Amino acid sequence: MSKIEIWDSIDKNSQMLTKMARDIWENPEVSLEEVYASNLQAKVLEDAGLKVTLGLKGLPTALIAEYGNGKPVIGILGEYDALESLSQDSISKRKVRVEGGHGHGCGHNLLGTAGVGAVIAIKKAIERKELHGTIRYYGCPAEEELVGKLFMLRDGYFNHCDALLYWHPSSNNTPWRVPCLASTSIVFSFKGLTAHAPQAHLGRSALDAVELMNVGANYLREHLPREVMFHYSILGNGIAPNTVPDRCQSWYMVRAPKRSYLDETFPRLVDVAKGAAMMTGTTLENVEVLGGGNDMVMNQTLADLFVKNMNELNGPSFTDEDYSFAKEINKQFTPEQKSMGAQAFQIPPEYYDKDLLDEVVPVANVKVLPISGDADLSWVYPFGAFYCATWPIGVFTHTWQATACTGSGIGMHGMLFASKTLAGACYELMTDDNLMQRVKKEFKDLDLHYKVNIGADSVPRKVILR
């Protein structure tokens, strides 16, 4: 089976893949709750003849599908979690499908489905003895909370992989060539003493402690390296204002170009929290690291391989309807807003006059990528990733416009392009031993030393926002 035949097999499965992506889009589930999506993908993969394990240690919505034996072992990463409050119909105007509902504003309904399509195509070639090696699909939950892959890595589920391949929905068609930000997710929990508000002197407010911690943290910013950034949210305590709250939490996400910056920042934030507890007579009851990741290490040999396959495919195959939809979406943006959206995905200025990018950008002018739940994997295995256009130039991720597009023809055609790019890369890694050795050598020459960023007894958990 040639690479062209593998791509043709994805085309033959396009109706099934499009339906899967749309079904997951219509049934959005947030991190650690992806029951519908994981079961759907597990069934499709099992029906296609792969060995499927649904439910891993502490992660009931994680899955692994595998076929073949021996080397190389190529893993394709998938995700399927949605975002809170991003419900939207697949039209170019704001229209909520379910009031207060979730939505696929990051395109993970497409992300995992593309991987499923590529794995099934490669499985067929291995089955016919036209390719040799092992193909794996990893259904990874809770990317939005930087949880799933970190625990899967700690527990050894990626063992023996020779390369890991990944893509993400975007407005660009380009490989990832530069690091992403390192990150950590932390919840600070304060305990106080309840009292009736008219007798507040008898209580100790955990909410006061959270507010003072956040004030102190904002003063701390000036004294951190300028590349360090953090964001926080106060988690609801469920108490009416006529009662002094005895429980309150602050959820922080800290980001920096290097893990070492986070290691220096973390104890200083803890000291701020301790000071807030002292000022309010409360107790800093717990500091819980939920997840996070190192700065990502990109494999340039894999990046070049993605560009090669993207160019052979001549970019995504968008329709006239897709271009019209993109134009309607972009009518809502000023030129300045559109350029800001383009910059978010490292699209060069010469493309800003387009509504939908159907070309391949071999080297994006980018300094650093946002955080990614895949970063720690790149310290242990050769890792390659790329963007494919699934929404118009100008659209930001985590917006209702992105949700609209990931359920539309633009999203589906971008997803099929990504699936073929993944499959083409797998084909070459399984047929060209010199290529596989170059990928491994580049990784080995980095001489990386990875340290797990979560404890052996830590378990994934959902942060309750309300």
Chain segment 154-178, per-residue pLDDT in tens: 999 999 999 999 999 999 999 999 8
Q: Give the Cα separation of 199 and 440 in Å (integer).
A: 67
The answer to whether the beta carbons of residues 372 and 180 sit under 8 Å apart is: yes
DSSP calls for 371-393: --TTGGGGGTS-EEEEEEE-S-T
The arrangement of strands across the sheet holding 283-293 comes to 229-235, 247-256, 182-191, 283-293
Q: What is the pTM of this model?
A: 0.91
Instruction: With CA atoms as reference, report the closest residue to 142 among 9, 33, 232.
Output: 33
Q: Provide DSSP, 119-152.
A: HHHHHHHHHTTSS-SEEEEEEE--GGGT-HHHHH
**What structural domains and CATH numbers belong to the chain?**
3-180+296-445 (3.40.630.10), 182-293 (3.30.70.360)
Residue 452: what pLDDT?
A: 85
Token pair, residue 314, equals 């001549």
* 213-238 mean pLDDT: 94
Structure token pair of residue 293: 């990741």
| pLDDT-based confidence at residue 364 (cuts at 50, 70, 90) | low
Cα–Cα distance for residue pair 391/403, rounded to 1 Å: 9
Compute the average pLDDT of residues 414-421: 99
Q: What is the token pair recorded at 243? A: 């009662």
Q: What is the mean pLDDT of residues 95-122?
A: 98
Residue 152 structure tokens: 């899967």
The predicted model gives 269-275 an average pLDDT of: 99
Mean per-residue pLDDT for 11-24?
99
Measured distance CA(392)–CA(354) in Å, rounded:
9
The residue-averaged pLDDT of 90-103 equals 97
Return d(Cα 384, Cα 305) in angstroms, integer: 9
Q: pLDDT grade, residue 362 (50/70/90)?
A: confident
| pLDDT tens figures, 58-70 | 999 999 999 999 9
Average pLDDT, the chain: 95
What is the rounded distance in angstroms from the CA atom of residue 140 to the CA atom of residue 79? 5
pLDDT at residue 366, as a whole number: 55
Residue 368, pLDDT score: 52
Burial category of 375 from C-beta neighbours within 10 Å (exposed 0-12, middle 13-18, buried 19 and up): buried
Integer Cα distance of 20 and 44 in angstroms: 9
